């Protein structure tokens, strides 16, 4: 008697047993295929994990699965295993994890095949002369077809203003024909342009990478502008020449189209970019092209880690320190960490690249688990930026800007170059207050202030998205003396426009770039090279090249120095250096000015005077003393409810229960429960329990027990709880 054990998308951490669909030929059934089955009152798509002959339930209690959707599993065995492993490591329900590893259309039951797109082209001997001169629509259309000998889709014809209604007429006259798009292996040429001649450092890195056989994890630590990307490109070139594919993960694609265009400029092989603007159909097609080996380079963000490759050759993780590689909700996996495992399974090299590597990766490099390669010089002939801390204690700030900074901005603009101002707050100002009674505009759903925005004018909570109008009078004392407090990007933009009316001020933040293509337009303006001021948030720090920027100003360098999160310092240092890296990239030497109230802070001093490596070494030392990651392994159990105090007492009781039952493995420790750093958020009261251990195995043993308790526990149904293994932040 055979039983199908299915992973079904549900919050339950278990598999479900079914009888195979009526008349199933079991000889050809492979784990990983999709199966539809009744679940509760509906039919769902599950993934077959195994065929077994045992069930804890009586046979006559088992329901029958309905149908089998695949002959071949969509994910190859090793990725199927990787996703299952990740579900167990990150304590996430397997059904949901497996679904997240495949494209949306497959989750919805679409066949695992390309959509055969129909294209049109002119018939071999077709010419305009064969049409009557007054058949203008047909002439127009035939001209369009003649311009596209490779074929053009009806959508594209419409987009070009052609009349698809005339297609059938042309076809009847044997002047046009339709055909299916074929995804042909383009195995002629690999390179589109010649690679750059590497400098000595790059050369030796590439040599190290290329001399590895099979799996090797390489940490490529290279200052911004040192030519890491060029090393990636040439390492990929080798893989392509061997007939293999490359998988490149980047933190963000939408905002940095340059990354993709650089790959397309270099290589003539088919490249797919898995970005968020793709339709589900386009995503599945790209995914299939990767699986079938048609696409040779696959560039994507976090979720692309599960993209199957037919001939895996190399994996690159660019900006490996970026927190976006860790999913922050639901299935909380780290794409970077899974990528290392994947490379091991596929027996290929993997490069983790960054100017500011995560302390985890550095620790692995120090321990010798990763090969540590360094690029210390900027490529080409640009020089590294010079740092300066501006002590702003007792300074009168002009909308957040010190006199020193303003005059520096002036001299750079007048010298004909560009200035970049970094501020990690969007909106006009972080809040609105009453000058007479001290009232502050707070969000009533969060422990947070409402941010004041001026374009368009409103108050906005950046934590729960609540929006409201701006009051004319104080709700407490009715005074009309309401004042903005603090500086956001909109306010900086306004102040700079007043200070420098002759120069364009360009704001770059989530609000100013919402429109499609707005980022491209901004980049076009910046690329003209004319003097201007860019003012913006993190968005400016990611991946863009601003060759004409000679001054980078960091308005508030202190923002993360005293964070409640132990990674606060690391993130601050990374952000500062990423922003600083925008300066002086080409032949213009750059300057970085950082306003601070703590110019004597030892960490800032180390960073500014001795660079990231020195900072990281110190920080690793501190982590070791405090027994924090990467020297211990962490997990966070978060809970939230609408009733104040309940999440905390729930976690406290759970901790007590596990201790009473002596289920705390040796070497595992708790901290808490404590209210979360932002206790109330979007109307929910939140608390967390931190769990840490020297060795992973005991930590995971406890987490497994914890999950079991939570799933049995009646109280647990009244709270929303989640487990975060290796959390990227502790909020």
Residue ranges that bind ligand ADP, judged by CB under 6 A? 196-199, 202, 222, 224-230, 379-380
Q: Name which of ligand ADP, Zn ion, none residue 332 binds, using a CB cut-off of 5 to 8 Å depending on partner kind.
A: none
Q: Name which of Zn ion, ligand ADP, none residue 443 binds, using a CB cut-off of 5 to 8 Å depending on partner kind.
A: Zn ion
What's the min distance (Å) between Cβ of 475 and Zn ion? 8
Q: Name which of Zn ion, ligand ADP, none residue 445 binds, using a CB cut-off of 5 to 8 Å depending on partner kind.
A: Zn ion
What's the min distance (Å) between Cβ of 524 and ligand ADP? 18
The CA distances from residue 267 to 217, 242, 289, 293, in Å, are 24, 14, 17, 16
Cβ pair 32, 77 in contact under 8 A: yes
The four Cα atoms 472, 477, 480, 486 give a dihedral, to 10 degrees, of -80
What's the min distance (Å) between Cβ of 203 and ligand ADP? 9
What's the min distance (Å) between Cβ of 94 and ligand ADP? 38
- CB nearer to ligand ADP: give 354 or 676: 354
Q: Name which of ligand ADP, Zn ion, none residue 224 binds, using a CB cut-off of 5 to 8 Å depending on partner kind.
A: ligand ADP
With b for 16 or more beta-carbon neighbours within 10 A and e for fewer, the 508-541 pattern comes to: bbebbbeeeeebeebbeebeeeebbbbbbbbbbb
- CB nearer to ligand ADP: give 202 or 433: 202
What's the min distance (Å) between Cβ of 375 and ligand ADP? 7
- CB nearer to ligand ADP: give 54 or 381: 381
What is the C-alpha separation between 347 and 342, in angstroms, rounded? Answer: 8
Q: Name which of Zn ion, ligand ADP, none residue 446 binds, using a CB cut-off of 5 to 8 Å depending on partner kind.
A: Zn ion
Pairing of strands 152-153, 216-222: unpaired
Q: Name which of ligand ADP, Zn ion, none residue 239 binds, using a CB cut-off of 5 to 8 Å depending on partner kind.
A: none
What's the min distance (Å) between Cβ of 221 and ligand ADP? 10
What is the C-alpha separation between 62 and 55, in angstroms, rounded? Answer: 9
What is the C-alpha separation between 249 and 270, in angstroms, rounded? Answer: 17
DSSP assigned state of 19: B
- CB nearer to ligand ADP: give 250 or 284: 250
Residue 492, number of CB atoms within 10 A of its CB? 26
What is the C-alpha separation between 653 and 718, in angstroms, rounded? Answer: 14
The four Cα atoms 132, 136, 142, 148 give a dihedral, to 10 degrees, of 150
Burial of 1 (0-12, 13-18, 19+ CB in 10 A): exposed
- CB nearer to Zn ion: give 437 or 564: 437
Q: Name which of Zn ion, ligand ADP, none residue 199 binds, using a CB cut-off of 5 to 8 Å depending on partner kind.
A: ligand ADP
What's the min distance (Å) between Cβ of 617 and ligand ADP? 21
Cβ pair 561, 606 in contact under 8 A: no
Q: Name which of Zn ion, ligand ADP, none residue 225 binds, using a CB cut-off of 5 to 8 Å depending on partner kind.
A: ligand ADP
- CB nearer to ligand ADP: give 53 or 193: 193
What's the min distance (Å) between Cβ of 674 and ligand ADP? 40
Whether the CA torsion 83, 84, 88, 89 is positive or negative: it is negative
- CB nearer to ligand ADP: give 196 or 397: 196
What's the min distance (Å) between Cβ of 547 and ligand ADP? 8
- CB nearer to Zn ion: give 359 or 434: 434
What is the C-alpha separation between 371 and 306, in angstroms, rounded? Answer: 24
Half-sphere exposure of 93 (CA within 13 A, CB side): 19
Contacts with Zn ion by CB under 5 A lie at 434, 436-437, 439, 443, 445-446, 461, 463-464, 466, 474, 476-477, 479
Q: What is the DSSP string of 81-131?
A: HHHHHHHHHTT--HHHHHHHTS-HHHHTT--SS----EEEEE-TT--GGGS
Q: Which of 23, 98, 623, 661 is nearest to 362 (CA)?
A: 623
- CB nearer to Zn ion: give 445 or 669: 445
What's the min distance (Å) between Cβ of 450 and Zn ion? 8
Written as six digits, the tokens of 161 are 């203003």
- CB nearer to ligand ADP: give 375 or 482: 375
Q: Name which of ligand ADP, Zn ion, none residue 230 binds, using a CB cut-off of 5 to 8 Å depending on partner kind.
A: ligand ADP
Q: Name which of Zn ion, ligand ADP, none residue 531 binds, using a CB cut-off of 5 to 8 Å depending on partner kind.
A: none
């Amino acid at each position: 008697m055979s039983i199908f054990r299915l992973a079904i998308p549900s919050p339950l951490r278990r598999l479900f047993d079914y009888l195979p669909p009526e008349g199933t030929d079991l000889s050809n059934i492979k784990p990983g295929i999709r199966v539809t089955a009744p679940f509760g009152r509906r039919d769902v798509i599950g993934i077959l994990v195994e065929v077994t002959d045992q069930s804890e339930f009586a046979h006559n209690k088992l329901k029958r699965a309905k149908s089998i959707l695949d002959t071949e599993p969509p994910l190859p065995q090793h990725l199927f295993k990787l996703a299952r492993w990740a579900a167990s490591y990150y304590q996430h329900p397997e059904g949901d994890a497996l679904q997240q590893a495949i494209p949306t259309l497959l989750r919805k039951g679409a066949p695992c095949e390309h959509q055969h797109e129909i294209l049109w082209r002119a018939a071999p001997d077709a010419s305009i002369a064969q049409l009557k001169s007054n058949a203008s629509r047909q002439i127009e259309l035939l001209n369009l077809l003649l311009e596209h000998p490779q074929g053009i889709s009806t959508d594209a014809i419409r987009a070009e203003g052609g009349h698809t209604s005339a297609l059938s007429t042309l076809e009847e006259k044997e002047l046009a024909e339709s055909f299916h798009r074929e995804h042909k292996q383009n195995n002629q040429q690999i390179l589109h342009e010649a690679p750059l001649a590497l400098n000595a450092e790059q050369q030796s890195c590439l040599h190290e990478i290329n001399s590895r056989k099979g799996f090797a994890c390489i940490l490529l630590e290279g200052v911004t502008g040192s030519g890491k990307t060029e090393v990636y490109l040439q390492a990929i070139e080798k893989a392509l020449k061997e007939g293999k594919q490359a998988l490149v993960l980047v933190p963000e694609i939408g905002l940095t189209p340059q990354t993709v265009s650089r790959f397309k400029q270099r290589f003539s092989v088919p490249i797919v970019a898995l970005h968020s603007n793709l339709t589900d159909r386009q995503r599945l097609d790209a995914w299939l092209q990767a699986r079938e080996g048609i696409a040779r380079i696959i560039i994507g963000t976090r979720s692309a880690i599960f993209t199957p490759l037919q001939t895996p050759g190399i994996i690159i993780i660019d900006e490996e320190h970026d927190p976006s590689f860790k999913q922050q909700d639901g299935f909380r996996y780290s794409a970077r960490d899974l990528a290392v495992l994947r490379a091991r399974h596929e027996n290929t090299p993997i490069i983790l690249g960054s100017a500011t590597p995560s302390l985890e990766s550095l620790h692995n490099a120090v321990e010798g688990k990763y090969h540590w390669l360094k690029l210390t010089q900027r490529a080409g002939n640009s020089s590294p930026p010079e740092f300066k801390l501006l002590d702003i204690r007792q300074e009168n700030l002009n909308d957040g800007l010190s006199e020193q900074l303003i005059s520096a901005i002036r001299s750079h603009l007048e010298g004909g170059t560009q200035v970049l101002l970094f501020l990690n707050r969007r909106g006009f100002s972080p809040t609105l207050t009453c000058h007479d009674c001290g009232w502050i505009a707070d969000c009533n759903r969060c422990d947070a202030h409402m941010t004041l925005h001026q374009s368009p004018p409103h108050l906005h909570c950046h934590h729960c998205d609540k929006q409201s109008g701006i009051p004319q009078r104080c709700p407490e004392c009715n005074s009309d003396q309401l004042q903005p407090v603090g500086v956001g990007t909109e306010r900086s933009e306004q102040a700079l426009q007043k200070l420098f009316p002759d120069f364009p001020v360009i704001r770059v933040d989530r609000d100013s770039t919402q429109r499609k293509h707005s980022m491209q337009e901004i980049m076009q303006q910046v690329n003209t090279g004319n003097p201007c001021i860019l003012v913006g948030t993190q968005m400016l720090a990611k991946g863009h090249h601003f060759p004409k920027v000679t001054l980078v100003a960091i308005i508030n360098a202190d923002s993360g120095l005293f964070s409640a999160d132990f990674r606060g310092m690391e993130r601050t240092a990374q952000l500062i250096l990423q922003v600083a890296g925008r300066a002086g990239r080409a032949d213009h030497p750059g300057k970085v000015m950082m306003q601070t109230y703590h110019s004597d802070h030892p960490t800032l001093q180390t960073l500014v005077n001795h660079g990231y490596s020195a900072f990281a070494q110190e920080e690793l030392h501190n982590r070791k003393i405090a027994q924090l990651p990467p020297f211990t392994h962490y997990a966070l159990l978060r809970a939230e409810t609408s009733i104040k105090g309940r999440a905390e007492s729930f976690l406290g009781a759970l901790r007590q229960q596990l201790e009473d039952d002596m289920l705390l493995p040796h070497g595992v420790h708790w901290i808490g429960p404590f209210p979360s750093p932002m206790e109330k958020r979007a109307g929910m009261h939140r608390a967390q329990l931190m769990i840490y251990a020297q060795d992973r195995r005991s930590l995971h043993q406890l987490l497994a027990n914890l999950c079991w308790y939570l799933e049995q526990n009646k109280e647990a149904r009244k709270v929303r709880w989640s487990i975060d293994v290796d959390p990227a932040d502790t909020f």
